[in-house]
Amino acid sequence: MNKSFIAVSVLASLLLGSAQALTPIKIASLSPLSGGQSDAGVQIKNGGQLAVKEYQPQFKKLGFDLTLLALDDQADPATGTAAARKAAADKSVLALMGTLNSGVALPASAAIKDTHLAWVSPANTANEITDRGFKNVNRIVARVDAQGPVGADFVTDKLKAKKVYMLNDKTAYGEVLANAVEKLLKDKGTQIVGSEGTEEKSDFSAIIQKIKLTKPDVVYFSGMYNQVGIFAKQLREKGLKMPIMGGDGYDSNDLLSIAGSGTHDIYFTATAAPADVLPAAKSLGALYQKTFKRSIQGFGIFGYDATKVALQGILDAIKANGGKLPSRVQVESAVRNVKAIGLISGNAQFNSIGDRTESKLYIRKAEGDKFTLEGVVTVKAKK
């Protein structure tokens, strides 16, 4: 037999053996990668992908092959729950990063609670996410009970509204935030001239007629950008120019294109920081642009940060386990107790129920073809 052939065969065997020696570890991302909310969902996944790539060399040195398992929840609770179960069924998945929608996160996280799969959310704000006391569920953004007061104060103190028309998208996210803001506005003496939920996505003429008749100073619409953008466009086309206010569901560049000429006096409280207010985001933004040929947005940054939190927790668990593959229970505990550093949004750790001990809310305005920053509020977890 040819000696060169033997040498090549031996080298190939050694390389194959080396590759096989790496133990697989996966982190799953769960967000809408298709459908009307995919702009934000893809940002979350892409941010996670960059974090995984950054940490792959570190894991490889420890004998682990780190990869991302990207799952599409389509912003649908049933689809998201099925995807979460798929992630939990894969024993090499040690953490899950997601979701965009609280309405997806609530049933999906409940379905896999007993698997002890560590969960770090980059976006979910519903109070119930952490109030249920699940040991595996954490988030790096402010809760609704923090976002509500900031939004209500802006409506009364900055927009000087005396009369407000309340709308929500009838989801776990939209209803809870709208109810919180409505209660706070009433406590301030603000008149609520209308309050309703709607799943309408294309024709808001009936609702706009009610708004026209009640003449509110502000419309507070708690929903997602793909729905609110259409509403804003149609409202402006009817000649109604009062400010529109909402929550972090507006946080997508697609809001500007969907609302089009109706992008006027639209305000929202954002849980994810815009890239231009975080100095550390500059290099990540350049890498994001180079990798994905598009600009990074707030949810891309927080997808990156949430993934880094999960990965640092896994590394802590590996260290505590003597360099060996940790169990999900060990990772679950390590993530809850992590002291994450090097995040774009600042260092992070969680309280006893999985809320970030300190976070920020960003008040932003959509006008024409751009967003501007109206204010920043620091929020501290209560528990």
Position 316 pLDDT exceeds 50: yes
pLDDT of 336:
98
In order of start, what are the domains of the chain with their CATH numbers?
21-142+277-350 (3.40.50.2300), 145-270+363-380 (3.40.50.2300)
Closest CA to 52 of 341, 306, 224, 248: 306
pLDDT of 1:
47
What phi-psi label fits residue 139: left (phi over 0), alpha (psi between -120 and 50 degrees) or beta? Answer: beta
Instruction: Tell me the per-residue pLDDT of 22-73, one tens digit each, with 9 for 90 and over.
Output: 999 999 999 999 999 999 999 999 999 999 999 999 999 999 999 999 999 9
pLDDT of 20:
61
Instruction: Tell me the per-residue pLDDT of 210-244, one tens digit each, with 9 for 90 and over.
Output: 999 999 999 999 999 999 999 999 999 999 999 99
Secondary structure in 3-state letters for 319-368 = HHCCCCCCCHHHHHHHHHCCCECCCCCCCECECCCCEECEEEEEEEEEEC
- Cα–Cα distances (Å) from 177 to 31, 32, 348, 366, in that order, read 20, 21, 24, 20
* Sequence-separated (6 or more) residues with CB below 8 Å from residue 361: 142, 146, 147, 150, 269, 270, 271, 376, 377, 379
CA 352 to chain centroid: 21
The pLDDT > 90 percentage for the chain reads 92
Position 193 pLDDT exceeds 90: yes
pLDDT of 276:
87
Query: Sorting pLDDT into bands at 50, 70 and 90, what band is 10?
Result: very low
pTM attached to this predicted model:
0.89
Element (H, E) at 230: helix 225-237
DSSP 274: P
Instruction: Tell me the per-residue pLDDT of 155-185, one tens digit each, with 9 for 90 and over.
Output: 999 999 999 999 999 998 999 999 999 999 9
Structure tokens belonging to residue 27: 């982190």
* Sequence-separated (6 or more) residues with CB below 8 Å from residue 106: 77, 126, 128, 129, 172
Residues constituting the chain: 383
Structure tokens belonging to residue 240: 């109604």
Instruction: Tell me the per-residue pLDDT of 285-315, one tens digit each, with 9 for 90 and over.
Output: 999 999 999 999 999 999 999 999 999 999 9
